[in-house]
Amino acid sequence: MAKSLIELRGVCRDYPAGDHLLTVLDTIDLTIKAGEMVAIVGASGSGKSTLMNIIGCLDRPSRGEYRVNGQPTDGLEPDQLAAFRREHFGFIFQRYHLLASLTALANVEMPAIYAGLATAPRQERARELLGRLGLADRLGHLPGQLSGGQQQRVSIARALMNGGAVILADEPTGALDSTSGAEVMTILKELHDHGHTIILVTHNMEVARHAGRIIALRDGRIVADQKVAPPGPTATLANRTTVAHPWRALWDRFAEAFRMALTAMAAHRLRTLLTMLGIIIGIGSVVAVVALGEGSRQRILKDIKSMGTNTISIFPGSDWGDMRSGRVRTLVPADAHALAEQPYVDTVTPVVNRSVTLVYRNVSVTAQVNGVGEHYFRVRGMELAEGRLFDAESVAASSQEVVIDQNTRRTLFKDNPAEALGAVIMLGKVPCRVVGVTRKADTSFGDTESLNVWTPYTTAMNRLTGQQYLRSITVRVADNVPTA
Ligand code: ADP
Ligand code: MG
C-alpha cells in the first residue's frame, strides 16, 4: 500500500468575524496517498479553497495537525515552509495567474528563479516542459496571445517546473470551454499516470468523475469520501450503472450550489494579473497594488506564496531578461520607504550593486558590492558567523562599514582569517571597516564561488557609485497575512 502523503488530523481553520470566530474548516480528518487523484467538490463557500490552501502550505490550520510525507508542518519557519511548498507542490489556478507581460517561457521559468536554478538549465527545462505540453512554437508568446486552454497549459508547465510531485488545481477548468477543459483534464490524468499526486477542486461533477476519489465538503466538514471508478473505454454500460450512483447522488445534492458558485467567480482576476506583474516588475504598478482592496491584495500574496517564496524582488524594466533594466532609473529609495509602510510587508530592502576591486594589504580581488538596507539580512534569511550587521543608523549616516562573506574572508585574509573583523579594506577608493562576516554565501541567486560584500545602500550610492537610483527592491511578505 502506498504510504500517506497528505495527512490532516482534526484540522480546523477559523477566521475572525466581528467579535466571534467563523469556523470555515471543522475537524477535517483526511489522508491522501502518494499517487492518488482526488477531486474535492462542494458548494461555494464550503471551504474547498481553504482546504487546498492548507494542503499546499499557503495557509496554516488554526488547530489540528497537518503532515506531509509524515513530516509535521506546524514547526516549520516561514522560510522552510516556502522551500517546502517549492519542493512538493505545483499550483494551478482557475484563471491561470500568468504574468501578462512575460512570455510563456519566462512564466514557466519563474518558480525556478525562486529556487535558485541557473539560467541555462532553467530555460532548458522550461522549454522542454512547454514542448511536452504542445507549446513548443509558443515559447515567446505573451499570455494575451494564447487561448485560454493554452494559457492553462503554460500554468501546468509552471506547476511542474520544480517537480510538482503534488499538483494542486483549484478549478483548473472553470474558465475554459468544454474542449479546452477536456484537454486540461487529459493532461492532469496523464500526469497522474506518471505518478503525480493530483488534488483538484471543481464544481463540475463531470470533471470530478475523472478522479478515482471524490471528497465532498459542506460547511467546512467532509460529508462524503467515495472511491469511484473513473470513466474510460473499459467502462461498460453494466459497470457504469453501478459506479454511476455515488457521483450522481452527489451531483444532485450540489448541482444548485455549483451553479450559484460559478456565477460568483469570474470577477477581479484580470486586475490580479496586472498587479502581480507590477509587484514583480515595476514600481509604477506597485502603487496600484497599494491602492487595491484587501481581497485582491490577499489573492496576490497567495499567488506569490504559491511560487514557493516569501520574498518578492522588484526590478525596473519589462522582463526578467530585459537588457535595459540595469539602466532603467525609475526605482528610488522613496519607493522602498513607501512599500515598507504596507501592512502586508514584513521588511523591505533597497538593493544597488556594482562590482569593485577590493584591496587588503597585498591582495586585490574583484567582488560584488551590494548596497542594501539594514533589513536585508532578514529579508534574505542570512545569518552572521561573527561580528554584527549594520543598522538603521549606519544607513542614515552612509557609514563606511562592510559585511563580508566567507569567500571574501578566505580570499582577502587567507594568511590570518581572525584578522578580518575590524580590519579596514578598500572598496575601490573607499576605505570601509569590516564589521561582520556572514555564515554562508547568499546562494539563493547567483553562484556560490563569487565574492560578496554588503554596505549600507546609502554608502554605496553616495560614496561608491554616485548613482541615486536602485537596482532592485526586495520585499519580505508578512508571515501573518491571511490568504483568501
Ligand atoms: P470555497 O472555495 O469552497 O468556495 P472558501 O474556502 O474560499 O470556499 O471559503 C470558505 C468560507 O470561508 C467562506 O464562507 C468564506 O467567506 C470564508 N473565508 C475564506 N477566506 C476568508 C478570510 N481570509 N477571512 C474571512 N473569511 C474567509
Ligand atoms: Mg474556492
Q: Of ligand 1's atoms, which has the minimum distance to the CA of residue 44?
A: 4
State the distance from the centre of ligand 2 to the C-alpha of 88, rounded, in angstroms: 21
State the distance from the centre of ligand 2 to the C-alpha of 45, rounded, in angstroms: 7
Q: Are 194 and 225 in contact (CB under 8 A)?
A: no
Ligand nearest the Cα of residue 40 is 1
Residue nearest to ligand 1 atom 7, measured at CA: 49
Instruction: Tell me the best of 15, 59, 299, 344 to mutate to test the pocket of ligand 1, counting ligand atoms within 8 Å of each CB and taking the most.
Output: 15
Q: Of ligand 1's atoms, which has the minimum distance to the CA of residue 16?
A: 25
Residue nearest to ligand 1 atom 6, measured at CA: 47
Residue 360 grid coordinates = 587588503
pLDDT at 301: 64
pLDDT at 178: 87
pLDDT at 44: 87
The CA distance from 47 to 6, in Å, is 17
422: left (phi over 0), alpha (psi -120 to 50) or beta: left
Residue nearest to ligand 1 atom 22, measured at CA: 484
Q: Are 192 and 37 in contact (CB under 8 A)?
A: yes
Can you give the pLDDT of all 484 residues of the chain as single tens digits?
A: 457 899 999 999 998 888 899 999 999 999 999 999 999 999 888 999 999 999 998 888 999 999 999 999 988 887 788 778 888 899 998 877 787 777 899 889 888 776 667 778 888 999 999 998 999 999 999 988 999 999 999 999 999 988 889 999 999 998 898 889 999 999 999 999 989 999 999 978 888 988 989 999 999 999 999 888 755 433 332 222 233 333 333 333 333 322 322 222 222 333 333 333 333 433 333 433 444 445 555 665 666 666 556 676 666 543 333 333 344 456 678 777 767 776 667 888 888 888 899 999 999 999 989 999 998 888 777 788 999 999 999 999 999 999 999 999 999 998 888 899 999 999 999 999 999 999 874 444 444 577 889 999 999 999 998 888 887 777 777 766 544 4
Ligand nearest the Cα of residue 301 is 1
Residue nearest to ligand 1 atom 13, measured at CA: 45
State the distance from the centre of ligand 2 to the C-alpha of 160, rounded, in angstroms: 22
Residue nearest to ligand 1 atom 20, measured at CA: 484
DSSP 7-62: EEEEEEEEEEETTEEEEEEEEEEEEEETT-EEEEEE-TTSSHHHHHHHHTTSS--S
Q: Of ligand 1's atoms, which has the minimum distance to the CA of residue 17?
A: 25
Q: How many CB atoms lie within 10 A of CB 436?
A: 19
Q: Of ligand 1's atoms, which has the minimum distance to the CA of residue 46?
A: 3
Ligand nearest the Cα of residue 169 is 2
Q: Of ligand 1's atoms, which has the minimum distance to the CA of residue 43?
A: 3
Query: Residue 326 corresponds to which amino acid?
Result: G
State the distance from the centre of ligand 2 to the C-alpha of 44, rounded, in angstroms: 7
The CA distance from 40 to 61, in Å, is 18
Q: Are 419 and 467 in contact (CB under 8 A)?
A: no
pLDDT at 245: 34
Ligand nearest the Cα of residue 261 is 1
Q: Of ligand 1's atoms, which has the minimum distance to the CA of residue 483?
A: 23
Ligand nearest the Cα of residue 299 is 1
State the distance from the centre of ligand 1 to the C-alpha of 481, rounded, in angstroms: 15
The residue written with cell numbers 539563493 in the block is 444
State the distance from the centre of ligand 1 to the C-alpha of 312, rounded, in angstroms: 25
pLDDT at 130: 95
Q: Are 438 and 382 in contact (CB under 8 A)?
A: yes
pLDDT at 479: 66
State the distance from the centre of ligand 2 to the C-alpha of 229, rounded, in angstroms: 25
Q: Where are the beta strands (DSSP E) in 317-448?
A: 345-360, 363-372, 384-387, 401-404, 424-427, 430-438
State the distance from the centre of ligand 1 to the C-alpha of 24, rounded, in angstroms: 7
State the distance from the centre of ligand 2 to the C-alpha of 20, rounded, in angstroms: 23
Task: Specify the pTM.
Answer: 0.61
Residue nearest to ligand 1 atom 16, measured at CA: 45
Residue 145 grid coordinates = 496571445
Q: Where are the beta strands (DSSP E) in 219-267?
A: 221-227
Residue nearest to ligand 1 atom 19, measured at CA: 484
CB burial of 439-467 (b: ≥16 within 10 Å; e: otherwise) equals eebbeeeeeeeebbbbbbbbbbbebbbee
Q: Of ligand 1's atoms, which has the minimum distance to the CA of residue 201?
A: 2
Residue 473 grid coordinates = 527592491
Q: Are 214 and 182 in contact (CB under 8 A)?
A: no
Pocket of ligand 1 (CB under 6 A): 15, 22, 24, 42, 44-50, 482, 484
Q: Are 168 and 178 in contact (CB under 8 A)?
A: no
The CA distance from 110 to 204, in Å, is 30
Q: Of ligand 1's atoms, which has the minimum distance to the CA of residue 217?
A: 3
Q: CA of 274: how far to CAs of 176, 245, 267, 315, in Å?
A: 20, 44, 14, 15
Phi, psi angles (nearest 5°) of residue 396? -60, -35
Residue 69 grid coordinates = 510525507
The residue written with cell numbers 516549520 in the block is 76
